[in-house]
Amino acid sequence: MKGKIIFLNGVSSAGKSTLSKKIVKLLPNYFHFSLDDYDNIIERMEERGTDRLIPVPTETFFHRSIAMFSDQGINLVIDHVLHDRETISDAYHTLRDYPIYFVGVHCPMEELERRELARGDRRIGQARLQLQFVHQQNEAYDLEVNTFTNGIEKSAQVIAEFVLTNEASLGFSKLHE
């Protein structure tokens, strides 16, 4: 039996990582798996600033790793940014046969900018740039949350309750590719 995947999609600084950690506390049979963490693995393998780079997008490996964990029955909370057509296409095709709760994570621009400044580890304007694509592709989310309006705690509770009371969709089956 494949592990279920809570797939959080939203721009940088929307609160996905913090939200993931709260969800895992509410659903202890789930594990948090982040694109940011995975990117650190690839970064340690490469020699950035030189020509010694892996010529495949990090997301390609990340999506296949999500599938690998699910194939072993591991339930995951995925923290991701589907930021371009290539990334979306690869995620949709790689995970089309997997049980997924597809969750849109939103936050107002003013708060995104405030969070970027406060964090100090993000390029200022990254969220604004990503918003030109993310949530603009007619994504058919199973559920959407706003981490500013509802807060992280309430958003995590809404997601956990949804997961406990609803079956996961197969892949991104609600989407029109």
Exposed e or buried b per residue across 114-147, where buried means at least 16 C-beta atoms within 10 angstroms of its C-beta: ebbeeeeeeeeebbeebbebbbeeebebbbbbbb
Counting Cα atoms < 13 Å in the Cβ hemisphere of 1 gives 3
pLDDT digits (tens, 9 = 90+) for 114-171: 887 787 666 777 777 888 888 888 888 999 999 999 999 999 999 999 999 999 988 8
Nearest CA among 164, 137, 155 for reference residue 14: 155
Q: CA 18 to CA 15: how far, in whole Å?
A: 5
Entry pTM: 0.90
For residue 45, give both structure tokens: 């393998």
Domains annotated for the chain, with CATH where assigned, are 5-168 (3.40.50.300)
Q: So what's the pLDDT on residue 174?
A: 60
CB under 8 Å to 18, separation ≥6 — which residues?
147, 152
The residue that leads in pLDDT, 176 or 59, is: 59
How high does pLDDT run on average in the chain? 90
Q: CA 172 to CA 21: how far, in whole Å?
A: 23
Q: CA 31 to CA 27: how far, in whole Å?
A: 9
Return the biggest CA–CA distance within the chain: 50
**What percent of the chain clears pLDDT 70, i.e. is strictly above it?**
95
Q: Which amino acid is at 93?
A: H
The residue that leads in pLDDT, 75 or 177, is: 75
